[in-house]
Amino acid sequence: MALDTAHSAFTLDRPADACAPRARTAEPVTPPFTFTPALKRELAPLYERVKHVVTPMEWVHYAPLVKAINELKVKRNAVILAHNYMTPEIFHCVGDFRGDSLQLAKEASRTDADVIVQAGVHFMAETSKLLSPDKTVLIPDPLAGCSLAASITPEDVRALRAAYPGVPIVTYVNTSAAVKAECDITCTSSNAVKIVESLGAPRVLLIPDEYLAKYVQTKTKVEIIAWKGHCEVHERFTGEEMEAMRAAEPGLKIIAHPECPPDVIAASDFTGSTAAMIDWVKTKRPPKVVLVTECSMASNVAAEAPDVEFIRPCNLCPHMKRISLEKIYEALLYNRYEVTVDAGVAEKARRAVERMVEASA
Ligand code: 13P
Ligand code: SF4
């Protein structure tokens, strides 16, 4: 694999200009409900879903917000797209659609709701806007970015195009719409190999995640040219850590996301997107497993698989963790923060995303 180090660009994480942060209210959020015995009874079926991972004390705080959000959703004809990294009270109690980046992108294109609240990070909300241009797309915290999206700019992609004339450019969805607009097609961690091979080219640029590119290289004969972006959560895991866990926990199954470094993937029993990791655990039901990815996902799966023991090296994504029930409630109440994409950028970026959706159908 030829690594493109000359063009590597690490920048501070930042939201896209289209969604610059605005002034926030300083007052604490007060939902219109308090935790009463009646509310407890009414929401008992929802608590049942999370009782293994949410304590009764936490539920006293969450339940009024859950009820208020679910009422506002009906009032505004809104849906909440919840990424697998959301905390369990969001994922299981207010999320209408749950899944990995690809599943959420597909749901965004199918929904007939007026409002989409993206319980995820900014690039996911932009993708929803690209696929649902007539809908209002809200991100509860506009600073929910992504180190991969921040690692590459449209100028970087143009420079790559000039340096590798005729070589198709595949971008991971973890990029801004402006970067997608410069690329031929997008991919996610669940379809990257398929998308690369669908192009019928001997060489492909796969940006910006170096480790995803290296992983794809192990699965295809197409020559992959990578960028030097990394996920700040997954790059922290190490192969030694995996070996130490295996030694300490006999029978442990190690399931890793392809954003992890190659030595972590080499030490794992299975590698796949967040959705593929969840399916693996639900299908195989290993007695003991470690999900080598963002920490909240284990809580979400544990809520549904209490028979599985989860070993938890807890790396949290600081961007995903900006999303809370309070902020989702405020998003629906005050219609904020609306995500918009410049029309010229949107047209080109949408083409790249739609090509992926068609190729992975
Ligand atoms: P998935 O597409 O596998 O959900 O990954 C998105 C992501 O941001 C992982 O860090
Ligand atoms: Fe980005 Fe990594 Fe967070 Fe996923 S976990 S949103 S790739 S920083």
Per-residue pLDDT of the chain (361 residues), as tens digits, is 333 333 333 222 333 333 333 444 456 788 888 999 999 999 999 999 999 999 999 999 999 999 999 999 999 999 999 999 999 999 999 999 999 988 898 898 899 999 999 999 999 999 999 999 999 999 999 999 999 999 999 999 999 999 999 999 999 999 999 999 999 999 999 999 999 999 999 999 999 999 999 999 999 999 999 999 999 999 999 999 999 999 999 999 999 999 999 999 999 999 999 999 999 999 999 999 999 999 999 999 999 898 999 998 889 999 999 999 999 999 999 999 999 999 999 999 999 999 998 888 7
Same domain membership, residue 181 and residue 155: yes
- Kindly state the tokens that stand for 251: 């029978």
Supply the pTM of this predicted model.
Answer: 0.91
Q: Which amino acid belongs to residue 26?
A: A
Classify residue 339: in a domain, yes or no.
no
**What pLDDT is attached to residue 105?**
82
Residue 292 located in a structural domain: yes
Same domain assignment for residues 58 and 129: yes
**Looking at the structure, do residues 354 and 229 belong to the same domain, yes or no?**
yes
Q: Which of 281, 237, 275 is nearest to 259 (CA)?
A: 237
Whether residues 280 and 293 fall in one domain: yes
Rounded distance from Cα 149 to ligand 2 centre (Å): 9
Q: Crossing angle for the helix pair 122-131 and 101-110, nearest 10 degrees?
A: 30
Query: Which residue in 269, 273, 295, 297 sits closest to 284, CA to CA?
Result: 269
Residue 63 and residue 197 share a domain: no
Q: What are phi and psi of 78, to 5 degrees?
A: -115, 155
- The pLDDT value recorded for residue 108 is 87
Q: What are the φ and ψ backbone dihedral angles of 347, each rounded to 5 degrees?
A: -60, -45
For the sheet with 288-292, list strands across it.
270-271, 253-256, 288-292, 309-311
CATH at residue 77: 3.40.50.10800
Ordered DSSP codes for 76-94 = HTEEEEEETTS-HHHHTTT
Indicate whether 208 belongs to any domain: yes
Phi, psi of 288 (to 5 degrees): -145, 130
Containing structural domain, residue 262: 235-311
- CA–chain centroid gap for 102, Å, is 9
Tell whether ligand 1 has an atom less than 6 A from the beta carbon of residue 273: yes
31 belongs to a structural domain: yes
* Within a domain: 343: no
Residues 22 and 142 placed together within one structural domain of the fold: yes
**Domain annotation covers residue 228:** yes
Q: Ligand 2, closest atom to CA 121?
A: 6
User: In 3D, which of 154, 192, 188 has the Cα closest to residue 173?
Assistant: 188
User: Are residues 263 and 290 located together in one domain of the fold?
Assistant: yes
Q: Lay out the sheet containing 136-138: strands in order across.
A: 97-99, 78-83, 115-119, 136-138
Q: Is residue 85 in a domain?
A: yes
Pair 56, 142 in one domain: yes
Query: Which residue has the least CA distance to atom 1 on ligand 2?
Result: 146
Strands 288-292 and 309-311: parallel
| Number of domains composing the chain | 3
- pLDDT at position 360 is 80
Strand ranges (DSSP E) for the chain? Answer: 2-3, 78-83, 97-99, 115-119, 136-138, 169-172, 185-187, 203-207, 223-226, 253-256, 270-271, 288-292, 309-311
Amino acid identity of residue 177, one-letter, is A
Cα distances from 31 to residues 57, 63, 233, in angstroms, run 17, 10, 32
Cα 345 to averaged position of ligand 2 atoms, centre (Å): 23
Assigned token pair, 176? 């801004």
Question: What is the maximum alpha-carbon separation in the chain?
Answer: 67
Mutation test residue for ligand 2: of 147, 187, 292, the one with most atoms within 8 Å of CB: 147
**227 and 288 fall within a common domain:** no
* Same domain membership, residue 120 and residue 100: yes
299 occurs within a structural domain: yes
Question: How many beta carbons lie within 10 A of that of residue 347, not counting itself?
Answer: 13
What pLDDT score does 27 carry?
Answer: 67
Ligand 1 nearest-atom number relative to CA 231: 10
If you measure from the C-alpha of residue 231 to the centroid of ligand 2, how many angstroms do you get, rounded to a whole number? 5
Same domain for 134 and 183? no
* 50 shares its domain with 80: yes
The pick from 320, 321, 322 for probing ligand 2's pocket by mutation, whose C-beta has the most ligand atoms within 8 angstroms, reads 320
Q: What is the whole-number distance in angstroms between the Cα of residue 233 and the centre of ligand 1?
A: 11
Q: Is 188 in the pocket of ligand 1 (CB under 6 A)?
A: yes
Distance, CA of 235 to CA of 230 (rounded, Å): 6
Confirm or reject: Cβ of 84 under 6 Å from ligand 1. Answer: yes
Ligand 1 centre distance from Cα of residue 342 (Å): 25
φ, ψ (nearest 5 deg) of residue 272: -175, 175
Distance (angstroms) between ligand 2 centre and the Cα of 144 equals 10
φ, ψ dihedrals at 184, nearest 5°: -85, -35
